[in-house]
Structure 1
């Protein structure tokens, strides 16, 4: 594996080029000063928007400030992520964050003002100034919130409670990131060492069952010890969601969470119902796992153990890029040219170096191009990560090129579609090319486990959120026992009868940060299902689907997420895409079982 001791050792063509945003820090400072000067101008509009001309002037200035601020923030964040130890980069990002808060404060008056207007007045304003047509759809979309916006004094009161209402989430973050101390595990020399999250991720996949068990017990230990405190924070977070939904006149906390994306609750319910009706293939996979591991009792810490061992492929970055281009060829020549540009024009930061932010992400910078952070390790997982992030990257690039700034950013609801389409195309390409039986089994297992984590686990989490919020809405007290019983029952429903439960299983709810961002995780599953449908059609040579998919990648947020997906042939208001996805999973499990 290629390793570097410092960033300076990495070849220039494997480092992103931040000069495309700002050629130097002086230019960054110039934009910082301009935004500071604009804040006072933005504040002047408070109480002064009386006609179309002043409305247009405000919106135009706000968008100009937003454009510059995004550049400032992106440059600062990317610079810091190159080496998180550099204090000057930390300070740069802190300044960008503080400036963002000031801008938000200066423009906070606008939404209450807008919603105080009636539609006739707003239409008159728009008729006065031609430039307001650009903002028209966005302005009227805000009117959807009118039934859920309170009187000005009440809104001001609620805004003052913002910090208090976010306390459960902040408290859990502090517990989870600062206070949690995992137990100890035994290293290869027999010494006891503290468990970390990174080490746990490796050990839970170890072939040695004793190591997996030891890591599992050590990982869950602090969550079980803090069960009452964490139950209190989660209960408070759920009650806050329920209370805010009532205050704002939503039928339920679920419908409040779905409102921004204009998603009917039937989509959420369909996802859960269709999954549970077609859960048998997951139960079969768990049975195969138990049989293949030759265990009398399968436990939760056995669910990530490798079923196909001894497959270690060395995949250098250059080879990975060539493989990606071949695998994604069904998406067309224009798509491949964009991918070549990513590499040749230094959009990607490839190598792992000391101090660099871990993991991987894509950041689209409107008016510039996407930036992709990797920590490439010359292995199969790194190849999948490259393909995944490049899916996000092409989505960002095309949406930015084909959409104006106001609709260029795509919703989280559709974000995982582009990345997962790429992963499905890659796995199918590798399976088609691979003749070695052991590697084929390994690839199938990789895909099945991706399915398990991105789809089934997220649907289970989504049902847990729905059930606990419904209890709170009915006035049922939420505590450790309620959370344990709900989670344990769902885990049994989803993963079937072949798992023997350790005491820790029922505490799974205590470690999930997503539960403090209500009704969010279902989007992973709907995105995954949409991607499976699209990739399958594209591989079948369906030109209509391919063309509509490329158009989708250019669409940003020009329509609501469900409508954008419908144009590609994916209708999530029906259970069909979910059912087809589960059929695909069933086929994978059947094929995998036949190879063992």
Structure 2
């Protein structure tokens, strides 16, 4: 830890500038007091909205309150992530969280009030008060939930059950993050050391097979030991989803989950079926991997080893940024100029420093600009992370610049499209501008493994969730054995019979946090399929796609996600985007096989 940089060691142009949100903490405190006052004003509207004028007054106040709170919360979060050891920053974040609870309580009356209103009354209010036009789309959007809202008394009971309902997810989180104790493994020097998650992923990429096998066993051992406890949390989570879907008059938990995005169940089912129909290239890749590694049999812990040995490419941050700009040039001057502005205007926090939050993300309040957290370490992977996060940043930047606050926020369904388009464009640029055969083979392998992890694995997870919830709907037992039987069968289907399955593998379901946010992971798969469709046409020089894609980035959440994507030429109601990705995967495997 001592060799890590201190924040004070990093030059100003490689740190984000949070003064763009608040010049100092006194301004934060002023907004905090303001938000508290606005919250009290919002609460006073309960039972006091009787006409169009009153409705408009509340909605304007609510938007103002939401705007101020977003700034407070984002600032406190970003400040804490600079150095998670600073207790003052944690205190401000705690204050912001408490304020959020207060605001939620103060405004919780409005949705039941609106949904108890007759549509004719809302029509009349909107006709009478021109200012309501701004809120009209969102107001009518709420009405689609009317068949799924219960009586006021029942809704109050459900709201009070919120903490109880979240117990399965909370318990699993405590098990997975606080209580799990992994076994010991042998380090590079032959000494025994306790395995960590970060160490596990690195060891699985090691060319020392004995270490990989040892790490695999040590990683899965606590999950196998807790299989029945974790099965009870996952089973309870699925049963909760079934219960509340029934109570709210949805056909299934899946339909309930897709309802907000206006996505038909057929999109989910089409994703699974189309993928199942085109698994041949995946089996070929697994065969190639076994031959390339020179193994008599392929095990699960052999699936992450890079197929190009001893390959390292140093990419310092400035060089990585220039390479990214060159790779994304097909998107045009407006996009590239935005990226150049981000680099010099305090958007990006570049370096790994002591106490800084790990990983990478993009976030920012409306009315300022996006902020990007990186932990850049000059590797090729760091460059792809940079391109990925800047895709999110430009999506938010262009959306905020062209949409009013009410429609600027895009949904999770389309969030990964912009980031993945950047990655695809960058990898094609590197492939087309390299004469190093080893680098090209590494990049093709990287691309294949990206698709494998972001698409095939997520579709497998999506099918697992679907089967589990269908069992719950039929009242079948949800036990460790039933989960394991389903998971092992799906793993064989999606990875091929040639992978020899260690007995621990079937408990893979027990380590996936996403399963407690049901029917979420499929969006990773539709996201990468959509991005590959768009990027492929851009690389073919289709200027119409470039323009429609930029329009998509500027559209925020102004339409449902399927409609936004359809305007870019991606129709997820058909199999084409999925088959397009699968065809690309087939070609990439062919390229690898020919080397």
TM-score (norm 2): 0.99
Pairing 1:272-291 to 2, within 5 Å after superposition: 272-291=272-291
Asked if the contact 1:169–1:233 (Cα under 8 Å) also holds between the matched residues in 2, the reply is yes
Match of 2:545 in 1: 545
The Cα shift of 1:95 comes to 0.5
**1: CA distance, partners of 2:104 / 2:592:** 52
**1: CA distance, partners of 2:364 / 2:566:** 24
Secondary structure in 2 matching 1:362:
strand
Pairing 1:425-464 to 2, within 5 Å after superposition: 425-464=425-464
**2: CA distance, partners of 1:45 / 1:249:** 30
Match of 2:31 in 1: 31
Asked if the contact 1:364–1:397 (Cα under 8 Å) also holds between the matched residues in 2, the reply is no
Match of 2:125 in 1: 125
| Cα displacement string for residues 114-137 of structure 1 (whole angstroms, at most 9, x for unaligned residues) | 000011000111122111100001
**2: CA distance, partners of 1:253 / 1:187:** 45
The Cα shift of 1:4 comes to 4.8
Secondary structure in 2 matching 1:374:
strand
Asked if the contact 2:5–2:352 (Cα under 8 Å) also holds between the matched residues in 1, the reply is no
Secondary structure in 2 matching 1:349:
strand
The Cα shift of 1:188 comes to 2.0
Secondary structure in 2 matching 1:185:
strand
Match of 2:412 in 1: 412
Secondary structure in 2 matching 1:218:
helix
Match of 2:48 in 1: 48
**1: CA distance, partners of 2:313 / 2:346:** 26
Pairing 1:354-503 to 2, within 5 Å after superposition: 354-503=354-503
| Cα displacement string for residues 400-419 of structure 1 (whole angstroms, at most 9, x for unaligned residues) | 01011011110000000000
**2: CA distance, partners of 1:478 / 1:587:** 40
Match of 1:348 in 2: 348
| Cα displacement string for residues 491-531 of structure 1 (whole angstroms, at most 9, x for unaligned residues) | 00000011001011100000000000010000000000000
Match of 1:74 in 2: 74
Match of 1:588 in 2: 588
Pairing 1:74-473 to 2, within 5 Å after superposition: 74-473=74-473
Match of 2:579 in 1: 579
Match of 1:527 in 2: 527
**2: CA distance, partners of 1:573 / 1:478:** 32
Secondary structure in 1 matching 2:295:
coil
Asked if the contact 1:538–1:546 (Cα under 8 Å) also holds between the matched residues in 2, the reply is yes
The Cα shift of 1:39 comes to 1.4
**1: CA distance, partners of 2:144 / 2:511:** 35
**2: CA distance, partners of 1:491 / 1:531:** 25
**2: CA distance, partners of 1:122 / 1:333:** 44
TM-score (norm 1): 0.99
| Cα displacement string for residues 247-288 of structure 1 (whole angstroms, at most 9, x for unaligned residues) | 000011100000010000000000000000011101110010
**1: CA distance, partners of 2:79 / 2:165:** 32
| Cα displacement string for residues 288-344 of structure 1 (whole angstroms, at most 9, x for unaligned residues) | 001101111100000001110111111110100110010000000110000000101
**1: CA distance, partners of 2:361 / 2:464:** 28
Instruction: Report how many residues are paired.
Output: 593
Asked if the contact 1:261–1:560 (Cα under 8 Å) also holds between the matched residues in 2, the reply is yes
Match of 2:555 in 1: 555
Match of 1:514 in 2: 514
Asked if the contact 1:266–1:573 (Cα under 8 Å) also holds between the matched residues in 2, the reply is yes
Is the aligned partner of 1:13 residue 2:13? yes
Secondary structure in 2 matching 1:350:
strand
Secondary structure in 2 matching 1:46:
coil
**1: CA distance, partners of 2:296 / 2:504:** 19
Pairing 1:559-570 to 2, within 5 Å after superposition: 559-570=559-570
Asked if the contact 1:172–1:230 (Cα under 8 Å) also holds between the matched residues in 2, the reply is yes
| Structure 1 runs, 4 residues or longer, greater than 6 Å off | none
The Cα shift of 1:158 comes to 1.1
**1: CA distance, partners of 2:325 / 2:40:** 49
Asked if the contact 1:4–1:10 (Cα under 8 Å) also holds between the matched residues in 2, the reply is no
**1: CA distance, partners of 2:49 / 2:70:** 25
Root-mean-square deviation (CA, aligned residues, Å) is 0.7
